[in-house]
Structure 1
């Protein structure tokens, strides 16, 4: 028996860019490749990560996580995720740069083996070399699976697109007269776009705190607390 188990493990082929797989096949291969830090299944096709540069990915990613983490700190009942696998559907298992989900009463769940399953309410991608995927096949998959808001930071273009799902379509949220985009799913999640793009994280967090101090955020946090106690 032990020999057959070892043999079956050895015979599992490695993941390769462009492979066309089911989600089960993808997971089986991915779990065997412990040295691989990021691989995704998008519309049945495998995409494998490449080395990441600090200015085009690492630092923008850090700013986004600081922003989301601050919101989580003041909003009991939500959960952030950093590069965690999401089981969306039989052909899609992305590993988004960041996500924000409602823990109880939201769209997604945590499976017994510790994965996010179904659509988090907000997904964020840092797009440099992956922009063609993030704004096409990924966007389609997220839209079809009811990801309510999808934010793409196009680093090379120095632009941020924040989409909201309405009537089965992604509509871009517009900044107000102060240059602030406000989430329609997460009250108080405000983003000063220009400050984020310039690297002025202090202003980004100050504006976020203004959103967190609103009555809308207080009401939302209270509703989440009630769900958490049920």
Structure 2
């Protein structure tokens, strides 16, 4: 469709004062995973103080850092405004894309930690994994890497390897908040994108 009225404006992020153009449309698995995470967050948080947000919600950490995370949870409702979140969310999820991975693992991760984000998830659709980082004195430390493993892969593991696998991600914001890893990757291919 060539009608300019239907074209979306480019999405941009400001990372440590530098403007980055984001991919106009994420891959299908990227989109499905971010939507699943938002849905799982939203489902648990219904009626609670904290609020889940999905892709498309702007976050202004400060005047040099303006991001659009794939999903997040905000417990301090005073930072929620009509147009954006102004301040640090409590939990941020970034679903990796080849074009944004270095920023998600580098400067954005650094700035989220510095701003006071308590928990940071880096999700890799191709590897079907979720890296969970917790904030310790303004720096993220890896807590655990959760991986969705197929039945075939399980059958090739010994008892020690199977025992090390964790099927649920404990969300630090609530004692009883757990997300099943397999629920994040429902209906995704998990194969290398061509």
Q: 1:114 aligns with which of 80, 83, 88?
A: 83
Give the structure with the larger helix fraction. 1
Give the structure with the larger strand fraction. 2
Determine if contact 1:151/1:161 at 8 Å carries over to the other structure. Answer: yes
Determine if contact 1:128/1:156 at 8 Å carries over to the other structure. Answer: no
Determine if contact 2:37/2:184 at 8 Å carries over to the other structure. Answer: no
Q: 1:44 aligns with which of 2, 17, 26?
A: 17
1:169 Cα deviation (Å)?
Answer: 2.1
**CA–CA separation in structure 1 for the residues paired with 2:84 and 2:27:** 27
In the TM superposition, 1:55-74 aligns within 5 A as 55=29, 57-73=30-46
Is the partner of 1:186 in helix, strand or coil?
Answer: coil
Mind listing any 5+ residue stretches in structure 1 that lack a counterpart?
A: 1-33, 202-230
Residues 168-177 or 117-126, more deviating:
168-177
**CA–CA separation in structure 1 for the residues paired with 2:165 and 2:28:** 31
2:46 aligned with 1:77 = no
In the TM superposition, 1:116-131 aligns within 5 A as 116-129=85-98, 130-131=100-101
Corresponding residue number in structure 1 for 2:177: 189
Mind listing any 5+ residue stretches in structure 2 that lack a counterpart?
A: 1-6, 147-163, 189-194
Question: Structure 1 length as normaliser, TM-score?
Answer: 0.63
Q: What are the superposed Cα offsets for residues 155-180 of structure 1, whole Å, 9 maximum, x if unpaired?
A: 23332111110122212223676432
